[in-house]
Amino acid sequence: MKIIVDAIQENPLSLMRKAGYVFQHQENDEMSFVRVFASAGYPRFHSYTKLDKMTLTVNFHLDQKKHTYGDDTRHHGEYENDGPMKEEAERLIKVFGEKARIV
């Protein structure tokens, strides 16, 4: 799911912290954040943010459990626009303010 925040007035790191996310790492111009629900680290919301001039793009999904590796790599993420994903999007819109929208 994707949220766009136009004319961002705050540092993306501060904004994501305000939303309850913890910084993981930065790769080039993209930052990774997580919002964990259990001490084991999963389930968790996982987001990637990218700032382009004054517009912040937040792509996020729900990781149900840790990645499975073997002959093939499986990612146990949810990307649908309903249930917990919809609730999290609505919560983030409230935190980010009136210039935020779901796309």
Q: What pLDDT, in 10s, does the model give residues 26-41?
A: 999 999 999 998 888 8
pLDDT tens digit sequence for 60-92: 999 987 665 445 555 555 556 778 999 999 999
- Domain limits of the chain? 2-49+62-102
C-alpha dist (Å) from residue 48 to 30, 45, 67, 70, 72: 6, 10, 17, 25, 24
Question: Cβ distance 47 to 30 under 8 Å?
Answer: no
The whole-model pTM stands at 0.85
Assess whether pLDDT exceeds 70 at residue 102.
yes
